[in-house]
A and B are shown apart, each in its own frame.
Chain A
Amino acid sequence: MSWFDKLKVKTGLGPKIAKPEIIWIECKGCGEQLYIAEVEKNLKVCPNCDYHFRADARERISYLINPGTFVEHDGDLTSKDPLKFKDKKKYKERLRATFKKGYSHDALISGSGVLGDHPVEISVFEFKFMGGSMGSVVGEKITRCVERAIKNNNPVIVVSCSGGARMQEGILSLMQMAKTSSALKKLSDHKLPYISILTDPTTGGVSASFAMLGDVIFAEPGALIGFAGPRVIEQTINEKLPEGFQRSEFLVDHGLIDNVVHRRDMKKTLNNLLSMLANKPILKTVETHD
């Protein structure tokens, strides 16, 4: 780890997203040209059509956790490349390239913080790190996050954004599904809440493990959520998929998740929910983001 990366871990500064010369972005929802600064101020949601842009892990943490309260844990875990995996490129090289872009924490940031009125343990996926794929590091970090919650008697929040298991770690990445699910069973036995938040996309091994095990499951609007990816399904059944299939709203309609929650309402919704589950008064300390 370079001194610069270390500095970033310590200060909690995320990597810079937009290069200074790019100031406009096209909305995938309505096609409008949007001023990036305005979109970022609006929690990366289109002011016109409410399209939810993908956000970085540190941004999401800032949307949910009270300023100055987040403490990162296990930021130094890295993959050991157990299979010495190589496709067109070496897995080691792919990892190194991502580190260089400033994402040194694998595909997940995990830590403790305060959400409104509640101390929580939180894990947030980093999609820019190999598509948010889950390998040994992600599985271990989530497991430790859950174990910390049991130790500290805190609720767990996981914000998923992942294409599934990390193929480059083979069977060991698959086993992270069992490992994380088992840890959540222990949490459940301790009667501590686990809230799962699904964002675009949440598929494969992540969807088929902790993401779908929340006591309460919320999704951001329009997120792709499912076990199999739409392309695989289309190839298997050889027909076009219906409009809106595997989107958040579809999952609510089919009774698979609790609700769709707008990014600006997420913190308040979670705070109120945690207060109710703990049978505590709902303080009005958290307002909807403007």
Chain B
Amino acid sequence: MALENQIQDLVSLSHMYDSVGDITHEISKLKKKLRRMKHEVFLNLKGWQKTQVARHSDRPYTLDYIQRIFTDFQELHGDRRGGYGPSMVGGLAKFDDQSVMVIGHQKGREPAEKIRRNFGMSQPAGYRKALRLMKLAEKFDVPIITLIDTPGAYPGIDAEEKGQSEAIATNMFSMIDIKVPIIVVVIGEGGSGGALAIGVGDRVMMLEHSVYSVISPEGCASILWDDKEKVKQAAEALCMTATHLLEMKVIDEIIREPLGGAHRNHKQAAVSLRKALRANLKTLIHQSSEELIEKRYEKFRSMGAFSTEEG
């Protein structure tokens, strides 16, 4: 960014001269201007830009948040049906003094880890593991927190043979009447059914620069425009930003990110997420199972836009 370079130049200059008073003043003025500009830029990010921020490889992933927000995390592995599911992580942890079950998609940052985590695209085993952990949480009256960050469920031969569709469907079917609170947060990419498979809850929130969509802009562009290059138009048309989803009442709350996006400041992003989790958990934990389930059902029951007149 040009402004950033300008500041750098002034900083170097200030080291060369003795009378730096004026320059320091100049620097701080420019820094303020930069902050304000960044703020405005990030406030007005469009669908495709948001998608790129949401996919940024320095963005905190599930395990980064777990490490910063929870204590005593005990990871629990496997679906007990012959599958490991490396793209999904989960386990018990302490949140303040409360035991919680944390479950989320996991992407890899380094090349080898990216491959091991299958780029956050879960196999059926991942969804089945997630459900197993949710049932475990339910049995011991432990609230559930899920973190969504996936391009989508894995499209592969193996995944189909092992029932990818059934795994996703069964999760939604089962989550709707789990007897403990479920808080869902989209922390990065909310990719279609692969996201929704851990996305049914009492509170659904999105980080400010995350996205949540029925299909990726790339997929939509190639199907509806017949042109892979039309990603910007597709991202815009799909209305996949947190602001859009809040308007459509698909989510309950937007969690603010540090200036420039969560990838710029993991610590502050975690503080923001922790605050939102704490506030929501506090209200949900006092509700009876019956109340939770009834409201959760109503929440998803009411989603949709239709009329009884011909459009």
- Pick from A99, A136, A228, A233: contact of B306, CB under 8 Å: A136
Known: A79-B305, A182-B300, A209-B193. 17 other contacts (CB 8 A): A81-B311, A83-B238, A87-B224, A87-B234, A88-B226, A136-B304, A168-B224, A172-B248, A175-B303, A177-B193, A178-B196, A181-B173, A182-B173, A205-B214, A209-B172, A236-B154, A254-B162
- Pick from A204, A207, A213: contact of B173, CB under 8 Å: A213
- Pick from B192, B297, B307: contact of A174, CB under 8 Å: B192
What is the chain B residue whose CB lies nearest that of A225? B165
- Pick from A167, A170, A171: contact of B223, CB under 8 Å: A167
When A and B form their complex, what is the total count of cross-chain residue pairs whose Cβ atoms lie within 8 Å?
Answer: 199
Q: Mark B228-271, 1 if CB is under 8 A from A, else 0.
A: 00000110011110001100101000000000000000000000
- Pick from B225, B305, B307, B310: contact of A1, CB under 8 Å: B310
**Distance in Å from the Cβ of A3 to the closest Cβ of chain B?**
13
Please judge, given known A-B contacts A178-B176, A184-B173, A209-B172, whether A167 and B215 are in contact too, CB under 8 Å. Answer: yes
What is the chain B residue whose CB lies nearest that of A182? B176
Name 25 interchain pairs, CB-CB below 8 A, sorted by A. A77-B306, A78-B309, A79-B311, A167-B220, A167-B224, A168-B224, A170-B244, A171-B213, A171-B248, A172-B248, A172-B305, A174-B214, A175-B196, A179-B300, A179-B304, A182-B200, A208-B164, A209-B193, A210-B169, A212-B163, A213-B170, A227-B164, A228-B164, A236-B155, A236-B156
What is the chain B residue whose CB lies nearest that of A234? B155
- Pick from B234, B250, B310: contact of A171, CB under 8 Å: B250
Q: Is B58 an interface residue (CB 8 A)?
A: no
What is the interface residue range for chain A against chain B? 35 or more
Q: Is A211 an interface residue (CB 8 A)?
A: yes
Q: Is A116 an interface residue (CB 8 A)?
A: no
Q: Is the CB of A212 within 8 A of B169?
A: yes
**Nearest 3 pairs of A and B residues by beta carbon:** A228-B155, A136-B304, A82-B305
Within 8 A of A (CB), among B274-311: 297, 300-301, 303-311
Within 8 A of B (CB), among A113-157: 136-137, 139-140, 143
Please judge, given known A-B contacts A175-B304, A210-B169, A228-B164, whether A92 and B311 are in contact too, CB under 8 Å. Answer: yes
Q: Which residues of A contact B305 (CB under 8 A)?
A: 79-82, 136, 169, 172
Q: Is the CB of A212 within 8 A of B165?
A: yes
Report whether over half of chain A's contact residues are helix, strand or loop; otherwise say mixed.
Answer: helix
CA distance A169 to B304 in the complex (A): 9
Q: Is A76 an interface residue (CB 8 A)?
A: yes
Q: Mark B200-221, 1 if CB is under 8 A from A, else 0.
A: 1000000000001111000110
Q: Is the CB of A256 within 8 A of B166?
A: yes
Q: Is B110 an interface residue (CB 8 A)?
A: no
Q: Is A232 an interface residue (CB 8 A)?
A: yes
What is the chain A residue whose CB lies nearest that of B309? A78
- Pick from A82, A143, A172, A207: contact of B165, CB under 8 Å: A207
Kindly name the residue among B239, B300, B306 whose own CB sees the greatest number of chain A CB atoms within 10 A. Answer: B306
User: How many residues of chain B are within 8 Å of chain A by beta carbon?
Assistant: 58
CA distance A245 to B159 in the complex (A): 12
Q: Is the CB of B311 within 8 A of A104?
A: no
Q: Is A85 an interface residue (CB 8 A)?
A: yes
Q: Is B177 an interface residue (CB 8 A)?
A: yes
Q: Is the CB of B155 within 8 A of A227?
A: yes
Q: Is the CB of A143 within 8 A of B301?
A: yes
Q: Is the CB of A177 within 8 A of B196?
A: yes
Q: Is the CB of B248 within 8 A of A88?
A: no
Kindly name the residue among B160, B212, B303 whose own CB sees the greatest number of chain A CB atoms within 10 A. Answer: B160
Q: Is the CB of B303 within 8 A of A170?
A: no
Q: Is the CB of A181 within 8 A of B169?
A: yes
**Distance in Å from the Cβ of A94 to the closest Cβ of chain B?**
10
Q: Is A223 an interface residue (CB 8 A)?
A: no
- Pick from A76, A80, A143, A205: contact of B193, CB under 8 Å: A205
Q: Is B88 an interface residue (CB 8 A)?
A: no
Please judge, given known A-B contacts A171-B213, A172-B305, A174-B193, whether A237 and B165 are in contact too, CB under 8 Å. Answer: no
**Distance in Å from the Cβ of B206 to the closest Cβ of chain A?**
11
Please judge, given known A-B contacts A171-B212, A185-B177, whether A208 and B169 are in contact too, CB under 8 Å. Answer: yes
Please judge, given known A-B contacts A92-B311, A178-B199, A236-B155, whether A208 and B300 are in contact too, CB under 8 Å. Answer: no
CA distance A174 to B196 in the complex (A): 8
Q: Is the CB of B157 within 8 A of A245?
A: yes
Q: Is the CB of A233 within 8 A of B157?
A: yes
CA distance A190 to B254 in the complex (A): 37
CA distance A87 to B162 in the complex (A): 35
Q: Is B18 an interface residue (CB 8 A)?
A: no
Q: Is A176 an interface residue (CB 8 A)?
A: yes
Q: Is the CB of A179 within 8 A of B213?
A: no
Q: Is B168 an interface residue (CB 8 A)?
A: yes
**Distance in Å from the Cβ of B307 to the closest Cβ of chain A?**
5
Q: Which residues of A contact B193 (CB under 8 A)?
A: 174, 177, 204-205, 208-209, 227
CA distance A86 to B220 in the complex (A): 12
Q: Is A37 an interface residue (CB 8 A)?
A: no
